[in-house]
């Protein structure tokens, strides 16, 4: 999903990133993100948008992919929130030439390290509105 983004951008620190599937299966990671923003409030089942660095070849100047919030807690003492998302590393095959290409957002997140900062938007009231 590519679109022009005219909404507030927030920074989130990757606190943990753990593979939760066997190496013989598709890679799915459980990622905990910390959003140090007192006004960031959410409910389970809402979603966030993750902004992938770099320009699109055609169209938007940013790429956004939404992920549902699976778990989370507000940290009033730290004036922020921790949220957990699940990310499946995706690839797609070009119907024309048969080549396989990595999904931009899923590979960006799966390759990110603990301590890295990612840019997010949201939260959104429904998973993929």
Q: How many CB atoms lie within 10 A of CB 90?
A: 16
The reported pLDDT for the residue numbered 84 is: 97
Overall average pLDDT of the 2-30 stretch: 87
pLDDT tens across 49-71, in order? 999 987 666 656 678 999 999 99
pLDDT band, very low/low/confident/very high, at 3 (cuts 50, 70, 90): very low
- Whether residue 5 is predicted with pLDDT greater than 60 in this model: the reply is no
Q: What is the DSSP string of 22-90?
A: -TTS--EEEEEEEE--TT----TT-EEEEEESS--SSS-SSEEEEEE--EEEEETTTTEEEEEEEEE--
Higher pLDDT, 121 or 127: 121
Overall average pLDDT of the 37-58 stretch: 86
8 Å CB contact between 30 and 11: no
Tokens standing for 66?
A: 């939404």
Q: What is the rounded distance in angstroms from the CA atom of residue 40 to the CA atom of residue 10?
A: 9
- Whether residue 9 is predicted with pLDDT greater than 80 in this model: the reply is yes
pTM of the model: 0.84
pLDDT band, very low/low/confident/very high, at 48 (cuts 50, 70, 90): very high
pLDDT tens across 77-92, in order? 668 899 999 999 999 8
Q: What is the rounded distance in angstroms from the CA atom of residue 89 to the CA atom of residue 50?
A: 14
Pairing of strands 80-88, 28-35: antiparallel
Mean pLDDT, the chain, as a whole number? 87
Q: What is the rounded distance in angstroms from the CA atom of residue 120 to the CA atom of residue 127?
A: 14
8 Å CB contact between 35 and 41: no
């Amino acid at each position: 999903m590519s679109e022009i983004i005219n909404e507030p951008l927030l920074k989130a620190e990757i606190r943990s990133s753990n593979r939760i599937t066997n190496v013989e299966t598709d890679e799915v990671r459980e990622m905990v993100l910390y959003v140090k923003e007192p006004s960031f409030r959410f409910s389970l089942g809402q979603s966030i948008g993750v902004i992938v660095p770099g320009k699109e070849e055609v169209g938007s100047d940013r790429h956004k992919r939404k992920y549902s919030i699976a778990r989370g807690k507000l940290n009033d003492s730290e004036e922020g929130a921790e949220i957990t998302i699940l990310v499946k590393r995706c690839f797609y095959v070009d119907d024309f030439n048969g080549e396989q290409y990595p999904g931009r957002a899923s590979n960006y997140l799966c390759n990110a390290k603990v301590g890295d900062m990612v840019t997010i938007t949201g939260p959104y009231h429904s998973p993929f509105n």
